Structure 1
Amino acid sequence: MADKKKGGKGGAEKVQTEYDEEFKHLVRLSATDLPGTKKVYVGLTGVKGVGTRLAALVCDEAGVDRNKKLGHLTDEEVEKLQDALAGIAEYAPEWMVNRQRDIDTGDNIHLLTVDLEIVHKEDLNRLKKIRSYRGVRHENNLPVRGQRTRSNGRSGLTVGVQRKKA
């Protein structure tokens, strides 16, 4: 099943694994390509908006073994995971969802991938539009959460110094 080869420097071992024909090297979940070589709960963290704790909860809800490789999942199991990802807010505790008491609807929802990015940008634009302190700090690319700026946060400001031509 696995062939071990010696690496170059340091004697690090590289493991090369041969997979059967049913193995999928890429699994598509929530508009994201996930590597089939990773365990299910680790691979699910590749979806934007899903961390390790939430990934474990999704695996348990879908009834999928979290230590199984993503590439060995059947189409039914992938469909179960997809359904579980779509309805996270229904079974996850309130503190685990990433959008509690949404400003538009007032509901607890959990956003993934592109939806999460879009809503985040809308939130920042709303803060900038109403000219709140946080919005102004975001506009000026300054720290938002009260960090000091006198000594830290100076990287990227200087362009560089050139010598005078003689």
Structure 2
Amino acid sequence: MPRIEGVDVPDDKRGEIALTDIYGVGQSRASEILEKAEVSVDKRPREWTESETKRVRRIIEEDYTVEGQLRTEVQMNIKRLKEIGCYRGKRHREGLPVNGQRTRTNARTRKGKRKTVAGRSQSTQKK
């Protein structure tokens, strides 16, 4: 099981799919990495030679921002939005959807569990 950027890449999946276990690497980027490293996308990580593993590791380290560095970058961007007080920053701060989604219904992932408001029943609600 090759270890790339602090992540154990699964041996039993195709190389293209296995690399997606790394935060910041999706399928298209994984196939791009394997193409640059001249490794077959169908080859499984357990079948990679030591030199192939090193090439893949080197390409990821040099050319892409992944894992902890990417997480830090994303958090810093969110923090910056909050500090400058823009609309997106306020939405992050309030824990509401950021990209213009509706909140009257849905948005439970961001808003959390429902908080029932007293004195409001289904029959009195506006439809």
Which TM-score band (shorter chain)? 0.7 to 0.9
How many residues are aligned here? Answer: 114
Give aligned-pair identity as a percent.
32
2:103 alignment counterpart? 149
Structure 1 residue 75 displacement after superposition: 1.1
Letter in 2 for 1:57: E
Compare CA radii of gyration and give the structure with the larger one.
Answer: 1
Tell me the TM-score normalised to structure 1 length: 0.64
Q: 1:158 aligns with which of 99, 114, 119?
A: 114
- Residue 135 of structure 1: SS of its match in structure 2? helix
Query: Which residue identity is paired with 2:79?
Result: N
Question: Hey, which of these two has a bigger chunk of helix by percent?
Answer: 2
RMSD: 1.6
Pair 1:130-2:84 in alignment: yes
TM-score of the superposed pair, with normalisation by structure 2: 0.82
Q: Distance in 2 between the 1:48 and 1:154 partners?
A: 25
Unaligned runs of 5+ in 2: 117-127
Name the amino acid aligned to 1:84.
I
Question: Shift of residue 45 of structure 1?
Answer: 0.8
Question: By percentage of residues, which structure has more strand?
Answer: 1
Aligned to 1:78: 53
Give structure 1 regions of 4+ aligned residues with deviation exceeding 6 angstroms: none
Q: Which amino acid is the alignment partner of residue 77 of structure 1?
A: E
C-alpha deviation, 1:159, in angstroms: 5.6
Structure with higher RCO (Cα < 8 A, 6+ apart): 2
Q: Secondary structure at the match of 1:48?
A: coil
Gaps of 5+ in 1: 1-25, 89-109, 161-166
1:8-157 matched pairs, under 5 angstroms: 26-88=1-63, 110-154=64-108, 156-157=112-113
Instruction: Assess, with a 3 A threshold, how the Cα gap between structure 1 residues 154 and 42 changes in structure 2: closer, same or farther.
Output: closer
